[in-house]
Structure 1
Amino acid sequence: MINTKKTLIIFTTSILCLSLAILSDGQGNPFLLQLDRWEMLLPSIGISAMHMQVLHNGMVIMFDRTDFGTSNISLAGGMCRYDPSDTAVKFDCSAHSVLYDVVSNTFRPLNVQTDTWCSSGAVLPNGTLVQTGGYNDGERAARMFTPCGYTQRCDWIEFPQYLAQRRWYATNQILPDGRIIVVGGRRQFNFEIFPRPDSRSRGSRFEFLRETSDGSNENNLYPFLHLLPDGNLFVFANTRSIVFDYKKNRIVKEFPEIPGGDPRNYPSSGSSILLPLDETKNTNIEPEIMVCGGAPKGGFSYVKSRRGFMPATSTCGRLKLSNPNPSWEMETMPLPRVMGDMLLLPTADVIILNGAGAGTAGWENARDPVTRPVIYHPFDRRFSIMSTPSRPRMYHSSAVLLPDGRVLVGGSNPHVYYNFTNVEYPTDLSLEAYYPPYLSFTSDLIRPKILTSDKVVSYKRSFNVNFSTPQFLTVDLLSVRILAPSFTTHSFAMNQRMVILKLLSVERDQLTNSYRVNALGPSTAEIAPPGYYMLFLVHAGVPSSGAWVHIE
């Protein structure tokens, strides 16, 4: 441990939890220094980014739907698709999916044939994205995208009738054995496993989804799914939640309804997150769920009857599942929000961004875009409103965390088709990056930099990370985290999870003035399913850029 006192002073006086700092201009006059910021990456990627997934090769795959009409980017090589069932354009030479290269800030078109509107996805342990369902000719489709180099010509491979049931507004979750469970969808009170066990499989009934459907509005679409450390699933639909044993198709436990009676799933479109799982403690891991925002009860019908736009919900509920008598602990967001995205940051904080202050999900159903992100600090239960507003990101927007710590944001198309004029909120084809306060230069003195890392991390086995810091290191303030990238759409980041790993030792190399961390891999596949994760070192609240590791 070196320079402990100086590092602690820097840490305790830092303003990482705020978005503004008060400095002097040299003449004794204070001024404000902005620590968070937005960057416009591309004014147009040709499509509205309704769905996003970060891939382990540094690319991000994005897509909207095929029946929006002609997009603003052409398919490569003069290709076209003919779809007699398409409701907008049957002969289409435009692309509806793109591959974005984070490093070069460029993109290229991909060829998706079946309709991906309101679909779902998860990444297999080998890094292949499995994408399921959609609308019309895509409702039973399974699609696969295996990452390759940006200049290589990998593309979507589609299996149009693979799924056992129609999946529109379903949710996916990777399982400990590497398979994917696909749950629900419009009028689908069942679930199925990918890959299918056999060609005759029709899926399994899931009566909880039928019970939580409110009929006309069906506020249990895109149910919130989280894999728990015991291998069961936490499922939240409408206002109710359960622990579900999918292997035996039985409810293990049901929790009290979230207070207030406001639905949280689509089209009310709140969001949910599994808070970080901490393996540094010598006790059992205590999973905790957080659900935030959404439209109030009756909000959808209120808009549809043309009576106006009800204010969004401002409440968040936290539920510690391991408590003997678990109950929701309610908190209040500083900015009410519907259609907001919740993402885990490397610091273990939660960022909430995008969405609206009134209305609900759906075409022209929301007003008052909420353009300022909020960061929630779960350990001291505090919200910080960020200073810098974004562009309006309403219905059909999405966001993902990048390995460099930025948040990538795109999309927003609250109209039936692409519509850029004569509407209050035009279709947005742009791509932005948000820089949280921890990326400010004020944190550079204590920011760790990963030099090398073991590429493969095994369960209950130690692994090494070599890193440096510009000047100061306090070992007691260093931690190792892995974060699974999410498939984000419709205000829910599927498969997102963070595990804080046990740090075994830190050694200093006097010759190179660098350090080696020895850490312990996750204990079970239920804690961290096999696959690719972003590994971060966090020092005094400041994260490194992430390095990709493969958990196996």
Structure 2
Amino acid sequence: MSTGNMITFFLTLVSYIVYNTLVFCQTLPPSTGRQGEWHLLHASIGISAMHMQVLHDNKLIMFDRTDFGQSNLSLPNGLCRYDSQDTALEIDCTAHSVLYDIDTNTFRPLMVQTDTWCSSGAVLPNGTFIQIGGFNDGDHVVRSFTPCIDEYCDWIEFPNYLIERRWYASNQILPNGRIIIVGGRRQFNYEFYPQMYSSSLGLFRLSFLAETSDQSENNLYPFLHLLPDGNLFVFANTRSILLDYNNNRVLKEYPRIPGNDPRNYPSSGSSVLLPLDENLPNVVAEIMVCGGAPQDGFSRAAHGSYGQALSTCGRLNVSDENPTWVMEDMPIARVMGDMLLLPTGDVLIINGARQGTAGWEKGHAPVRAPVLYRLSQPPNGRFSFMATSPKPRLYHSSAVLVPDGRVIVGGSNPHMYYNFTGIEFPTDLSLEAFSPPYLAEQYGVVRPRILTQNEVLGYGEFSALVFTVPEYFSIKFLSVRLIAPSFTTHSFSMNQRMVVLKLIGATRVAPNTFEVTVRGPSTAEIAPQGYYMLFVVHAEIPSSGVWVKVQ
């Protein structure tokens, strides 16, 4: 391409450049491309995907609860679950967990014995998924799932491992590889996995959780975010603190989020830690909280009155010495929405309802269209509607980002048991994929494709990766990003984080082929050790992700 043609091309991009990023728009894609696309993966996977975790072998583990009754998926080889404490069935020969293969779009049943309802989880540095607590006979149980190359790996359960009952607790992987387990119903404390002590010595009281609890207990599933200084941001109801969990000290309390309306379950807003950029002189940590329900939303819904959900989002720059909430309005009110970081650094808000709260039959007016929040845009232009899903996703729905850049969505069961007929919102066993706009075919000319990369990324170490871009490459519009795979349930994606790696330089090694050098994360506080999806992003179009291990 001649120099003149190159200039013409970049002019026709409409090239809005904000903070050194570029959106490729030489030829606008059709409406479905600009707003993303939905694809049905399976009309039924046999269970309702209440909980989801992406694993580093490109598998997605999903489960609901054992006391829903019989699922629509049989356990293999005549297996049955025998449980005298089950509130629905003492003998159940159906599965309540599945392992989904992202690459082949196939799934197989898994065997879980104790009740996983409203549980939590995190992935250890070695890739083993640790799943914590639940209801009834599962509330003190820890379960593990280790990926394997055959078809025989399954859940392993450790009864009575937890010191306290953990139902609606939240988890966060820590810099030392341990998991902190915070809260749960009537649990105003935290503990760790692996345990430091198996007695009360391993239990730490957190009065903040008691102070923020109300009659409808709007502090369940507290929002946890590990900050770059190694301390823990904890948000419950309307308040938030900085917790030094090593010394069991609250270092500071942040201002209340404006409006005084609760954001945690059952009001069920959502929260993300915005991308941590190591190219800045100092890494900035900013929390975003969106949606929820008014103070009286749960009690009103219990009497059949579905109040309007919240439409506000708040951003809190916790790196500031005296941070204050900066509020914005979503284009539509939403409760029970999931907030997911996309490889571009934008935030997708998906699933949920305009009215009511979480809980049995307490949500109404489903919001089927996700919205995209673009960080690089000015305040009045950050939100845009995406394509509408044909399916409502209400209470007990989930969504996760997978390495090819899609968002897998499943679940929705606002009933005490599986219920498919004679009701407005039947139990949903389907699995869908939402393809964000960056996956539109028209963006192929600037889409990177990773050819080689180091499988291990050391802290502070230089690492090279080779990728191709079909045309129009510019290092000015290049970034390399890590995304930690999240455990998603009840509108909160635990352990979700993005780190924008320090870019050292890029060179052309062949036609349309480039080698870029990046520096690994500077500390385990910024990126706890473990498996991450690595994306090369060029002109705001990401490559497919590849798995790397940070250690």
Answer yes or no: same fold by TM over 0.5.
yes
Supply the distance in 1 between the matched residues of 2:470 and 2:110 (Cα, whole angstroms): 41
Please give the secondary structure, in 1, of the residue aligned with 2:77.
Answer: helix
Which amino acid is the alignment partner of residue 78 of structure 1? G
> Partner residue of 2:450?
450
- After superposing the two structures, state which structure 1 stretch, 4-13 or 290-299, moved more: 4-13
The number of aligned residues is 539
Q: Report matched runs for 1:317-332 at 5 Å.
A: 317-332=314-329
- 356, 359, 376: which one pairs with 1:359? 356
> Partner residue of 2:398?
398
Which amino acid is the alignment partner of residue 304 of structure 1? A
- C-alpha deviations, 1:115-145, integer Å up to 9, x for none? 0000000000000000000000000000000
Please give the secondary structure, in 2, of the residue aligned with 1:74.
Answer: coil
Structure 1 position 276, deviation (Å) = 0.2
> Partner residue of 2:296?
298
> Partner residue of 2:538?
539
> Partner residue of 2:282?
284
Give yes or no for contact 2:38–2:387 (8 Å, CA) kept in 1.
no
Distance of aligned partners of 1:303 and 1:233 in 2 relative to their CA distance in 1, 3 Å threshold: same
Give yes or no for contact 2:450–2:468 (8 Å, CA) kept in 1.
yes
Supply the distance in 1 between the matched residues of 2:393 and 2:40 (Cα, whole angstroms): 14
Give yes or no for contact 1:75–1:111 (8 Å, CA) kept in 2.
yes
> Partner residue of 1:94?
94
- Given the two structures, how large is their TM-score scaled by the length of structure 2? 0.95
Supply the distance in 1 between the matched residues of 2:470 and 2:151 (Cα, whole angstroms): 37
Supply the distance in 2 between the matched residues of 1:130 and 1:280 (Cα, whole angstroms): 32
Supply the distance in 1 between the matched residues of 2:190 and 2:2 (Cα, whole angstroms): 54
Distance of aligned partners of 1:349 and 1:2 in 2 relative to their CA distance in 1, 3 Å threshold: farther
Supply the distance in 2 between the matched residues of 1:192 and 1:425 (Cα, whole angstroms): 37
> Partner residue of 1:27?
none
Structure 1 position 5, deviation (Å) = 3.5
> Partner residue of 1:242?
241
Structure 1 position 18, deviation (Å) = 11
Percent identity of paired positions between Structure 1 and Structure 2: 62
> Partner residue of 1:379?
376
Please give the secondary structure, in 1, of the residue aligned with 2:148.
Answer: coil
- After superposing the two structures, state which structure 1 stretch, 78-87 or 318-327, moved more: 318-327
Please give the secondary structure, in 1, of the residue aligned with 2:501.
Answer: strand
Please give the secondary structure, in 2, of the residue aligned with 1:302.
Answer: helix
Supply the distance in 2 between the matched residues of 1:125 and 1:10 (Cα, whole angstroms): 46
Which amino acid is the alignment partner of residue 70 of structure 1? Q
Q: Report matched runs for 1:305-316 at 5 Å.
A: 305-306=303-304, 308-316=305-313
Please give the secondary structure, in 2, of the residue aligned with 1:450.
Answer: strand
- C-alpha deviations, 1:486-540, integer Å up to 9, x for none? 0000000000000001111111113x54111110000000000000000000001
> Partner residue of 1:338?
335
Distance of aligned partners of 1:10 and 1:68 in 2 relative to their CA distance in 1, 3 Å threshold: farther
**2:41 counterpart of 1:44:** no
Please give the secondary structure, in 2, of the residue aligned with 1:443.
Answer: helix
Supply the distance in 1 between the matched residues of 2:2 and 2:290 (Cα, whole angstroms): 41
Which amino acid is the alignment partner of residue 318 of structure 2? L
Which amino acid is the alignment partner of residue 168 of structure 1? W
Please give the secondary structure, in 2, of the residue aligned with 1:100.
Answer: strand
Which amino acid is the alignment partner of residue 60 of structure 1? L
> Partner residue of 2:228?
229
Distance of aligned partners of 1:547 and 1:33 in 2 relative to their CA distance in 1, 3 Å threshold: closer
Give yes or no for contact 1:190–1:206 (8 Å, CA) kept in 2.
yes
Structure 1 position 386, deviation (Å) = 1.2
Supply the distance in 1 between the matched residues of 2:64 and 2:366 (Cα, whole angstroms): 21
> Partner residue of 2:141?
141
> Partner residue of 1:154?
153
Structure 1 position 396, deviation (Å) = 0.2
> Partner residue of 1:107?
107
> Partner residue of 2:180?
181
Structure 1 position 322, deviation (Å) = 1.8
> Partner residue of 1:525?
524
Please give the secondary structure, in 1, of the residue aligned with 2:301.
Answer: helix
Give yes or no for contact 1:18–1:386 (8 Å, CA) kept in 2.
no
Give yes or no for contact 1:375–1:383 (8 Å, CA) kept in 2.
yes
Distance of aligned partners of 1:297 and 1:99 in 2 relative to their CA distance in 1, 3 Å threshold: same
Give yes or no for contact 1:372–1:390 (8 Å, CA) kept in 2.
no
> Partner residue of 2:468?
468
Supply the distance in 2 between the matched residues of 1:436 and 1:274 (Cα, whole angstroms): 20
Structure 1 position 9, deviation (Å) = 3.8
Which amino acid is the alignment partner of residue 195 of structure 1? P
Please give the secondary structure, in 2, of the residue aligned with 1:121.
Answer: strand
Structure 1 position 389, deviation (Å) = 3.0
Which amino acid is the alignment partner of residue 293 of structure 1? G
Please give the secondary structure, in 2, of the residue aligned with 1:404.
Answer: coil
Supply the distance in 1 between the matched residues of 2:9 and 2:490 (Cα, whole angstroms): 41
Give yes or no for contact 1:140–1:163 (8 Å, CA) kept in 2.
yes
Q: Report matched runs for 1:443-522 at 5 Å.
A: 443-510=443-510, 513-522=512-521
Which amino acid is the alignment partner of residue 191 of structure 2? E
Which amino acid is the alignment partner of residue 273 of structure 1? V
Give yes or no for contact 2:134–2:141 (8 Å, CA) kept in 1.
yes
Supply the distance in 2 between the matched residues of 1:263 and 1:92 (Cα, whole angstroms): 38
Give yes or no for contact 2:32–2:387 (8 Å, CA) kept in 1.
no
Please give the secondary structure, in 1, of the residue aligned with 2:298.
Answer: helix
Structure 2, unpaired ranges of 5+: none
Give yes or no for contact 1:506–1:516 (8 Å, CA) kept in 2.
yes
- C-alpha deviations, 1:393-419, integer Å up to 9, x for none? 000000000100000000000000000
Q: Report matched runs for 1:163-174 at 5 Å.
A: 163-174=162-173
Distance of aligned partners of 1:10 and 1:129 in 2 relative to their CA distance in 1, 3 Å threshold: farther
